Each structure stands twice: as C-alpha cells, then as structure tokens.
C-alpha cells in the first residue's frame, strides 16, 4: 500500500457505522503489522504492539482524548505516549476556571477523533533493540530542535516486512485509578466527560455510560506480536 492510500484509510467519516469502523481497524492493523516502519535518522523501527482508539456518534468510545488533526499526524497523548492520528475534528473552545484558562470541547453528532497508540517498537538493524511501553516509544520524539525546521523527525514509511503472528487482547489501563471503585465503568466515563467536554446532552451521556464497559472489555482493539 502507498502512503497516500494509507492516509485515506485513516480518514474514517463522522457518520461511519461501528461495523465500518471495525472493518477499517482490521485493514489498518494488517498494514501496520506487515507494511510500516517508523524511520528516525538512519534507523528503522518495526511496530510490534498497538491499540486503536476512535470516537464518533456510532462508536462512542470515551477512553480516547479529543483532538483535531489531519490523518497520519503524530500526537503526544495526555499520558506521554505517541498516537498515530486518524483524521479528527471536534469543536474546541478556551474556557476559564478561576484565573486559569484551558481548552475543552463541544461534543456533537459531527464530532469524530482518535488515534492508534504505539506501545512497542523494535529496531530492525544492529542489536534489534525493543522499546517496550508507550513512554519508551516516545523517546524517539523526546528531543527535537526548536530552531531547525528541516530536522529529521520520526516519519512513517511503507516497507514490505516479513510476516509475524499477532494476537488480540484488551487495551491497557483504561480505568486508571477507577478500576477498584464500585460502578467503575460509569465513574470513569463520567470523569472523562467532565474533564474534556463543555456540554454533553443527558441522552448522549447515558449512551456513553452504557456502552463504556463494552469498550473496556473488548479484545478487538489491541494487537500484539507474539
């Protein structure tokens, strides 16, 4: 697959059905497993572990942080890991709390956003070192020259790779500190809604709460090399 074809694949419509989204995830996963490397300087790194996150009106996975982005952009998520972004669009406003200003989002039926968290990569040459965990992967992005607009940033490139076996499983730590709370799924969903959004209708809030457990427990979003 060419990079422009892959970029188009990362543009999931705002009104896409859940079936369409899940089918697209599988197609993207095959590309990431067998046809993609991250190139940084002279080194190439293979992606060995990744997780899908996406929100739209038909796939209300509240575990993903809102963002605005073109497809195939890198994104430093709120936990310091690196996402490969889907095309993402959501209304954003600056709000004041006391004397502190911050950004929050308006959630509408036209909102769609998400990314693919890169959890593990392996250098293809030399010692074939493995970087295990989102923060280890993020080391490639940690120091970038603020004065050089032509510097070598980590870039995604298409490359034919030997096939490896991958397994699926649950995504990691979606409940955070709420994992031991009573009614933990509702509590975590409510926290994310309050933390990220200015206004959410009561009907949509109930839909998000009711569906959150299924997203947390699903084994369809995480791909890991055996």
Q: Sorting pLDDT into bands at 50, 70 and 90, what band is 96?
A: confident
> Residue 151: pLDDT above 70?
no
> Residue 181: pLDDT above 70?
yes
Given this model, what pLDDT does residue 78 score? 83
Given this model, what pLDDT does residue 149 score? 67
Question: Looking at the DSSP assignment, which residues form a beta bridge with residue 76?
Answer: 82
**Residue-range domains of the chain with CATH:** 3-173+219-225 (3.10.300)
Q: Tell the residue number behind the tokens 């790194």, with chain if given.
A: 45
Segment 141-145 mean pLDDT: 78
- Sorted by sequence, the CB contacts under 8 Å of residue 208 that are 6+ apart come out as 60, 62, 189, 193, 200
> Residue 97: pLDDT above 90?
no
Given this model, what pLDDT does residue 99 score? 83
Given this model, what pLDDT does residue 150 score? 64
Give the residue, 141 or 211, on which the prediction is more confident: 211
CA-to-CA distance for 1 and 215, rounded, in angstroms?
29
**Distances in whole angstroms, Cα of residue 127 to Cα of each of 80, 100, 124:** 26, 47, 8
Given this model, what pLDDT does residue 4 score? 96
Strand pairing class (197-199; 100-106)? parallel
**Best CA proximity match to 11, nearest among 62, 85, 63, 82:** 85
Phi (first) and psi of residue 155, to 5 degrees: -130, 150
Segment 65-90 mean pLDDT: 94
**Which percentage of the chain shows pLDDT scores above 70?**
99
**Concatenated DSSP letters of 146-184:** TT-TT----EEEE-------EEEEPPS-SSGGGTTSTTH
> Residue 185: pLDDT above 90?
yes
CA-to-CA distance for 121 and 138, rounded, in angstroms?
10
Going across the sheet that includes 197-199, the strands are 91-97, 100-106, 197-199
Segment 154-175 mean pLDDT: 96
Please, are residues 117 and 81 in contact by the beta-carbon 8 Å criterion? Answer: yes
């Amino acid at each position: 697959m060419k990079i422009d074809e892959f970029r188009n694949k990362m543009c999931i419509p705002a009104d896409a059905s859940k079936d369409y989204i899940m089918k697209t995830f599988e197609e993207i996963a095959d590309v990431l497993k067998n046809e993609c490397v991250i190139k940084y300087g002279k080194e190439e790194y293979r992606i060995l572990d990744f997780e899908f996150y996406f929100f739209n009106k038909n796939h209300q996975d509240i575990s993903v942080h809102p963002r605005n982005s073109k497809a195939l952009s890198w994104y430093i998520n709120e936990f310091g890991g690196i996402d490969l972004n889907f095309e993402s669009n959501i209304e954003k406003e600056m709000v004041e709390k006391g004397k502190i200003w911050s950004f929050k989002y308006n959630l509408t039926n036209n909102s769609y956003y998400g990314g693919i968290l890169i959890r593990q990569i392996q250098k293809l040459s030399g010692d074939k070192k493995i970087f295990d965990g989102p923060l280890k992967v993020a080391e490639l992005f940690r120091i970038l020259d603020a004065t050089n607009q032509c510097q070598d940033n980590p870039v995604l490139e298409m490359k034919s790779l030997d096939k490896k076996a991958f397994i699926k499983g649950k995504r990691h730590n979606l409940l955070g500190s709420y994992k031991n709370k009573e009614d933990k799924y509702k509590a975590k969903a409510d926290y994310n809604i309050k933390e990220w959004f200015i206004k959410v209708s009561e009907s949509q809030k109930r839909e998000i709460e009711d569906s959150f457990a299924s997203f947390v427990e699903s084994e369809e979003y995480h791909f890991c090399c055996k």
